[in-house]
Amino acid sequence: MMATMTDAGTEPLFRLLSRYMALDHADRVALSALETGPIRKLNARSDIAREGENPSVVRLLVSGWACRYKDLPDGRRQIVGFFLPGDFCDLNVYILSELDHSIGALTGVRFFEIEPEQFQEVIDQRPNLIRALLWHEMVASGIQRQWLLSIGQRSALERLAHLFVELYYRLQAVGLATGLTFELPITQNHLAEANGLSPVHLNRTLQEMRREGLIELSDRQLKIVDLKHLKKVAMFNSNYLHFNRT
């Protein structure tokens, strides 16, 4: 029982929410009670949901990376956010009827689906949790603002540096960083789409970062070589992540 709980798909979520506020064992149990359905799997490059759909369930990402993206009629695409393990793909299903963006799997993903009633039941019992979940949504919104600042004002190098530091902190929060190294399972094309850059220029920017001794990247492993310098280049201020518990 305890063993299954620690292995549960809700483990990263619990770790994440714990960065925002103190949660107790009962909260932990309540969260794991969300996982009743089967674990679903999808391959990389497949869509989890398309713009215009009206999904009836909330999805919790257990492993792999996904993204929110928007596209234009002529094919241009912008990734507007990453979903990492422990993230909900669209909690706003509750409020809004129709998706105004798509959700795509960037790698193979595993997730499970939660029925609204079931969700409601759990948060009714645990007022702490609804607060933590709202917090998480607000942070997601803050990340979007930070991306606007990046794409609007930062150079390619600064942008990429900022993204890497952000991913480092987010992955660390769900236990997916070991030291200053983490798995970066997405392609340079994805990084380009997230940063509003062409794949070619993104590639050159990556090489510049390596040359400057900021990072090492190979075999999908990103190692931050000089975190202090990287943060300086990115002008990184972690306040927008609102982790107020170490």
Partner DNA sequence: CGGAAGCTTGAAGTGCGTCAATAAGCGTGG
Partner DNA sequence: CCACGCTTATTGACGCACTTCAAGCTTCCG
- Note the residues at the interface with DNA (CB under 7 A): 44-45, 155-157, 187-189, 196-207
Candidate list 40, 41, 50, 145; residue touching a second copy; CB under 8 A? 145
Contact between 149 and a second copy (CB under 8 A)?
yes
User: What angle do the packed helices 156-173 and 227-234 form, to 10 degrees?
Assistant: 120
* 154 binds a second copy, rule: CB under 8 A: yes
Please identify which residue in 55, 185, 196, 199 interacts with a second copy, judged by CB under 8 A: 196
- Report the distance separating Cα 64 and Cα 66, nearest Å: 7
Q: CB-wise, 125 or 198, nearer to DNA?
A: 198
Of the residues 42, 44, 47, 77, which one makes contact with a second copy according to CB under 8 A: 77
Residue whose C-alpha is closest to residue 18's, from 136, 182, 113, 140: 136
What's 5-66 look like in SS3? HHHCCCHHHHHHHHCCCCCCHHHHHHHHCCCCCCCEEECCCCEEECCCCCCCCEEEEEECCE
Cα atoms found within 13 Å of the Cα of residue 46, Cβ hemisphere only: 9
Is the CA virtual torsion 142, 147, 152, 156 positive or negative?
positive
Sites for a second copy among residues 53-72 (CB under 8 A): 68, 70, 72
The answer to whether residue 127 forms part of the interface with a second copy (CB under 8 A) is no
Query: From the list DNA, a second copy, none, which binds 70 (C-beta under 5 to 8 Å, kind-based)?
Result: a second copy
Of these, 147, 164, 168, 182, which contacts a second copy (CB under 8 A)?
Answer: 147
| Binds 74: which of a second copy, DNA, none (CB < 5-8 Å by kind) | a second copy
Question: What tokens were used for 151?
Answer: 């794409």
Q: Which residue has the tokens 């793909």?
A: 89
* Distance separating alpha carbons of residues 213 and 181, to the nearest angstrom: 14
**Side chain identity at residue 213, one-letter code:** G
Residue 116 in the binding site for a second copy (CB under 8 A) = no
Among 32, 107, 195, 205, the residue binding a second copy under the rule CB under 8 A is: 195
For a second copy, the binding residues (CB under 8 A) are 51-52, 68, 70, 72-74, 76-78, 80-81, 92, 95-98, 100-101, 131, 134-135, 138-142, 144-149, 151-154, 195-196, 235, 239-240, 242, 244
